[in-house]
A and B are shown apart, each in its own frame.
Chain A
Amino acid sequence: MNTVYVLWIREIKKYFRSKSRIIGALGQPILFLIAFGYGFQSIFKRAGGGNYIEFLAPGIILMSVLFTGVFSGINLIWDREFGFLKETMAAPVSRFSIILGKTLGGATVALIQGIIVFLLTLIIGFKITNYWLLPIAFIFVFLVSLLFTSLGTTIASMLEDMQGFQLIINFLVMPIFFLSGALFPLTGLPKALKIVARIDPLTYGIDGLRHALIAVHNFSYMVDFLVLFILSIIILSVGTYVFERIQV
């Protein structure tokens, strides 16, 4: 347990020390929020969708969580071959505690990043309907952080080098973002897209967060929660299984 704690705190320390990483990771969500938010605002309203910035904000918050989570998970590749993690793997600690500490640390970083983006959306003009539901929103942001950091560490455990990295970004992370309900409502979609969106786990995170923040949703809290939670456990278990068998 001590191992999990020291590896967790290490990730957080490193995050707060790299100002460029924090600021760099905020650029994209702000750009999306302003360009899409204001760009589609009037069309969305005319189509009867209401306030687009309010609809978009939860999606953008989770976009930054998605990217931060996957990247900090994938960092494991570097760490394993050249970094500190190699040291850890020769230490008298279990592999499970290593991957758990690393994943929880990365998830916490993604969560903090999500909270910062959330605060920024408030400045830009995002109004949430019920402040009492913020703890629920918090839970969903954390679950999404955990899910995608686990996904990152699991992928990193399977990859030998960074060759496949671009492939993962283009064929996994980008589709997860664009095919979720982050940018558009799920109602009235072509059938194929609807099915894809329902397979996409981010859809459930966005649905839960939107439910809590602006009271718009397609599924119940329970469905959203269970999908994210169970999937996190499954992915983390797969990651642990693979990681335990890695030979450096």
Chain B
Amino acid sequence: MDKEENIIKVSNLTKNFKDFVAVNDISFEVKRGEIFAFLGPNGAGKSTTIKIITTLATPTSGKIEINGHDPLKNKDQTRKSFGIVFQDPSLDDDLTAYENMALHASLYGLPKNIAKSRIQELLEFVELWERRNSFVKTFSGGMKRRLEIARGLLHHPKILFLDEPTIGLDPQTRNHVWSYVKDINEKENMTVFLTTHYMDEAERVADRIAIMDHGKIIATGSSDVLKKKTNTTSLEDAFLALTGKDIREEEASSKDLLRAHRNRFGRR
């Protein structure tokens, strides 16, 4: 395979937390223009992998290349290469939709005039232009997600990371979100790297799926390949055949505690 074709290259990536191995010697590639899905039960190591690839955490060992850059050595170049939608909303609720976009533009060093036209274009794309001057705190979960996707695309990244972008959204909004993602993937040949718990979504949008469990990638391929391999008829059954039926007990992390705290007291 031509080297240039793989926009994400990960080899022998490992991440240890004290005596716990979150990511255990995984290797994979993502092709340019591909929609690649990471599936796995809670605590499988999906989010940790995304954090390492996106420079937010450092690996214990392993090699990574993102759009030709090393996230450890060349942080800023790597960061300019991707857009990201986090599992938890990361908008500023006290600012308007437009202000959130404008802040992103200045953080990524976009010139004012380019930022202006792109913000309008993207807010229209996610159907939020009419609401550009509303505070984000007045938005529904779906509107926030759309705004985050628009923001993630603002600096024209080569890769879009989506970490469980449809969690807690109703089927209509989920459908909406994925049609935007598909749309942008086809039009701009943008690589999309996503994680989700919804098998039907992965089956529908992803070209290739990697199933992760206990820090290891246990299978990779299109949903048809995975089904054939496990002799099952749906991706859900294939997933269960590969990862087993035990429910994963995850200990509440400090982040879960913080999340509970926030829900109880509201923000600030």
Chain A residues at the B interface, C-beta cutoff of 8 Å:
2-3, 6, 10, 13-14, 17-18, 21, 75, 77-78, 81-93, 160-163, 247-248
Q: Is the CB of A92 within 8 A of B268?
A: no
Q: Is the CB of A91 within 8 A of B108?
A: yes
**Chain B nearest CB, measured from A51 CB (Å):** 38
Chain B residues at the A interface, C-beta cutoff of 8 Å:
51, 54-58, 75-77, 79-80, 84, 86, 88-95, 99-100, 103-104, 106-109, 151, 254-255, 257-259, 261-262, 267-268
In whole angstroms, what is the CA distance A163 to B257 when docked? 9
Given known A3-B107, A82-B259, A92-B80, contact A247–B88 (CB-CB < 8 A): no
* Residue in A10, A81, A89, A90 whose beta carbon sits within 8 Å of that of B255 in the complex: A81
Measured between beta carbons, the chain B residues less than 8 angstroms from A75 are 268
Measured between beta carbons, the chain B residues less than 8 angstroms from A247 are 51, 56-58
Q: Is the CB of A6 within 8 A of B107?
A: yes
**Chain B nearest CB, measured from A166 CB (Å):** 11
Q: Is the CB of A82 within 8 A of B108?
A: no
Measured between beta carbons, the chain B residues less than 8 angstroms from A88 are 107
Measured between beta carbons, the chain A residues less than 8 angstroms from B58 are 247
Q: Is the CB of A162 within 8 A of B261?
A: yes
In whole angstroms, what is the CA distance A73 to B22 when docked? 31
Q: Is the CB of A10 within 8 A of B92?
A: yes
* Residue in B56, B94, B100, B255 whose beta carbon sits within 8 Å of that of A18 in the complex: B94
Q: Is the CB of A2 within 8 A of B90?
A: no
Q: Is the CB of B255 within 8 A of A84?
A: no
Measured between beta carbons, the chain A residues less than 8 angstroms from B258 are 77, 81-82, 160-162
Q: Is the CB of B95 within 8 A of A10?
A: yes
Listed by A's residue number, 19 A-B pairs whose Cβ atoms lie within 8 Å are A13-B99, A14-B95, A17-B94, A78-B267, A81-B88, A83-B92, A83-B93, A84-B91, A84-B92, A85-B90, A86-B90, A89-B56, A90-B55, A90-B79, A93-B76, A160-B254, A161-B254, A161-B255, A248-B51
**Chain A nearest CB, measured from B27 CB (Å):** 22
In whole angstroms, what is the CA distance A89 to B262 when docked? 21
In whole angstroms, what is the CA distance A3 to B92 when docked? 16
Q: Is the CB of A82 within 8 A of B89?
A: yes
**Chain B nearest CB, measured from A179 CB (Å):** 28
Q: Is the CB of A92 within 8 A of B88?
A: no
In this complex, what residue of A is CB-closest to B106?
A6
* Residue in B54, B57, B95 whose beta carbon sits within 8 Å of that of A13 in the complex: B95
Q: Is the CB of B57 within 8 A of A82?
A: no
* Residue in A18, A85, A92, A160 whose beta carbon sits within 8 Å of that of B79 in the complex: A92
Q: Is the CB of A92 within 8 A of B90?
A: no
Between B57, B90, B255, B259, the greatest number of chain A beta carbons within 10 A of the residue's beta carbon is seen for: B90
Q: Is the CB of B104 within 8 A of A87?
A: yes
Measured between beta carbons, the chain B residues less than 8 angstroms from A81 are 88, 255, 258-259
**Chain B nearest CB, measured from A165 CB (Å):** 9
**Chain B nearest CB, measured from A241 CB (Å):** 16
Given known A2-B106, A2-B109, A90-B56, contact A82–B90 (CB-CB < 8 A): yes
Given known A6-B107, A14-B94, contact A92–B255 (CB-CB < 8 A): no
Q: Is the CB of B57 within 8 A of A248?
A: yes
In whole angstroms, what is the CA distance A83 to B76 when docked? 21
Q: Is the CB of B106 within 8 A of A161?
A: no
Between A6, A85, A91, the greatest number of chain B beta carbons within 10 A of the residue's beta carbon is seen for: A91
In this complex, what residue of A is CB-closest to B88?
A82
In whole angstroms, what is the CA distance A17 to B99 when docked? 14
Given known A75-B268, A82-B259, A92-B76, contact A248–B56 (CB-CB < 8 A): yes
Q: Nearest 3 pairs between A and B by C-beta?
A: A92-B76, A84-B92, A160-B254
In whole angstroms, what is the CA distance A88 to B56 when docked? 11
In this complex, what residue of B is CB-closest to A71?
B268
**Chain A nearest CB, measured from B52 CB (Å):** 9
Measured between beta carbons, the chain B residues less than 8 angstroms from A78 are 262, 267-268
In this complex, what residue of B is CB-closest to A9?
B103
Measured between beta carbons, the chain B residues less than 8 angstroms from A17 are 94
Q: Is the CB of B267 within 8 A of A86?
A: no
Q: Is the CB of B90 within 8 A of A91?
A: no
In whole angstroms, what is the CA distance A83 to B148 when docked? 12
Measured between beta carbons, the chain A residues less than 8 angstroms from B100 are 84
